[in-house]
């Protein structure tokens, strides 16, 4: 068991990527890149439920490419790759899976609607509804700028799906579209449908609601008030001291004048 464990540690698994990675239609060409972290002699590409492809690596090449020319429905699915090192003939573990989803443009794109409206305040719950005329489909919600669809939903015998975004924030703003995958074809997709735009604005305070001061501004104002209070205290102490001084000085003056008057008499 120990030699096998050492071999697995010394042969790191490869990684697999697609080019292009999304938006691939039936009939398009696709290249699967098997990225090799170590020297290899043979490289295999596996399709789940299908036959493996094998290539001999006869030169320094990374990645090893497998090309699918004029893709068909049977090319859609989940893929992994694996390689064999030349010095020990040990095989690496398989890569993490990647999914090849093919768009079949013979399916009509789905419809989409947004409720309550396109411009809402933060914290509002939004419902996006997708539909088509085909029953038994899995609907997916897409947001422009993100690579993966969000919130897939299965609908059997209905032909519609509702996606709810709870307590939306400005991060939820953007353009949304729908697609669906017919029942029995998890890697075949309809084209993306029309889009709806969602704009989330900050909450507007109701009339009469006190505004919360800026913490930084409040701190500076408090510091300024403290300085003013200290200055006023110093000024008051000086004024009081001067007043006491004048009173004592005046009293001394009156006493001296009284003494002078007594000597004159």
Cα–Cα separations (whole angstroms), residue 142 to 127, 146, 158, 173, 185: 14, 8, 20, 13, 19
Shared domain for 123 and 89, answered yes or no, is: no
CA 59 and chain centroid, separation: 40
The continuous run of DSSP H or E covering 71 comes out as: none
Measured distance CA(145)–CA(64) in Å, rounded: 29
Average pLDDT over residues 182-194: 93
Shared domain for 17 and 90, answered yes or no, is: yes
Q: What is the pLDDT of residue 180?
A: 94
Query: Tens of pLDDT along 82-122?
Result: 999 887 888 999 999 999 999 999 999 999 999 988 789 99
* Residue of higher predicted confidence among 160 and 240: 160
Residue 151: CATH number of its domain: 2.60.40.10
Shared domain for 43 and 99, answered yes or no, is: yes
Task: State yes or no: pLDDT of 202 exceeds 70.
Answer: yes
In a domain, 84, yes or no: yes
In a domain, 161, yes or no: yes
In a domain, 73, yes or no: yes
Domain coverage including residue 162:
111-201
8 Å CB contact between 168 and 122: yes
Q: Give the number of residues written for the chain.
A: 265
In a domain, 151, yes or no: yes
Shared domain for 45 and 85, answered yes or no, is: yes
Q: What is the pLDDT of residue 78?
A: 97
Shared domain for 99 and 120, answered yes or no, is: no
In a domain, 227, yes or no: no
Shared domain for 116 and 196, answered yes or no, is: yes
Task: State yes or no: pLDDT of 30 exceeds 80.
Answer: yes
Q: Which of 171, 201, 231 is the last residue of a domain?
A: 201
Q: Which of 201, 227, 259 is the last residue of a domain?
A: 201
State the Rg of the chain over Cα. Answer: 39
Task: State yes or no: pLDDT of 134 exceeds 80.
Answer: no
Measured distance CA(23)–CA(103) in Å, rounded: 7
Closest residue by Cα to residue 181 from 247, 104, 124, 240: 104
Closest residue by Cα to residue 99 from 166, 21, 163: 21
* Number of compact structural domains in the chain: 2
Measured distance CA(64)–CA(18) in Å, rounded: 12
Q: If DSSP codes are grouped into helix, strand and coil, which group holds residue 244?
A: helix
In a domain, 220, yes or no: no
The neighbour count for residue 122, using CB atoms within 10 Å, is: 14
Query: Tens of pLDDT along 118-130?
Result: 789 999 999 999 9
In a domain, 248, yes or no: no
In a domain, 192, yes or no: yes
Measured distance CA(182)–CA(30) in Å, rounded: 22
The neighbour count for residue 176, using CB atoms within 10 Å, is: 22
Average pLDDT, the chain: 81
Shared domain for 19 and 89, answered yes or no, is: yes
Q: Which of 178, 201, 224 is the last residue of a domain?
A: 201
DSSP bridge partners of 177 = 142
8 Å CB contact between 149 and 110: no
DSSP bridge partners of 209 = none
DSSP 91: B
């Amino acid at each position: 068991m120990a030699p096998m464990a050492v071999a697995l540690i010394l042969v790191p698994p490869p990684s697999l990527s697609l080019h292009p990675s999304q938006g691939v239609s039936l009939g398009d060409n696709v290249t699967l890149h098997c990225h090799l972290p170590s020297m290899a002699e043979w490289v295999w590409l596996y399709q789940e439920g299908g036959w493996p492809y094998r290539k001999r690596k006869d030169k320094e090449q990374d990645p090893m490419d497998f090309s699918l020319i004029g893709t068909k429905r049977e090319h859609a699915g989940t893929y992994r790759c694996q390689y064999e090192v030349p010095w020990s003939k040990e095989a690496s573990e398989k890569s993490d899976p990647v999914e090849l989803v093919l768009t079949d443009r013979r399916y009509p794109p789905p419809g989409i609607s947004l409720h309550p409206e396109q411009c809402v305040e933060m914290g509002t719950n939004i419902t996006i509804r997708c539909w088509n005329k085909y029953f038994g489909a899995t609907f997916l919600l897409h947001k422009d700028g993100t690579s993966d669809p969000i919130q897939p939903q299965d609908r059997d015998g209905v032909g519609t799906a509702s996606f709810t975004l709870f307590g939306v924030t400005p991060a939820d703003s953007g353009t949304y579209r729908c697609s669906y995958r017919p029942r029995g074809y998890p890697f075949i997709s309809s084209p993306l449908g029309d889009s709806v735009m969602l704009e989330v604005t900050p909450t507007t305070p109701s009339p009469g609601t006190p505004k919360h001061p800026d913490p930084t501004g409040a701190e500076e104002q408090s510091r300024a008030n403290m300085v003013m209070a200290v200055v006023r205290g110093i000024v008051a102490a000086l004024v009081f001291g001067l007043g006491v001084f004048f009173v004592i000085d005046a009293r001394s003056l009156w006493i001296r004048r009284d003494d002078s008057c007594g000597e004159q008499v």
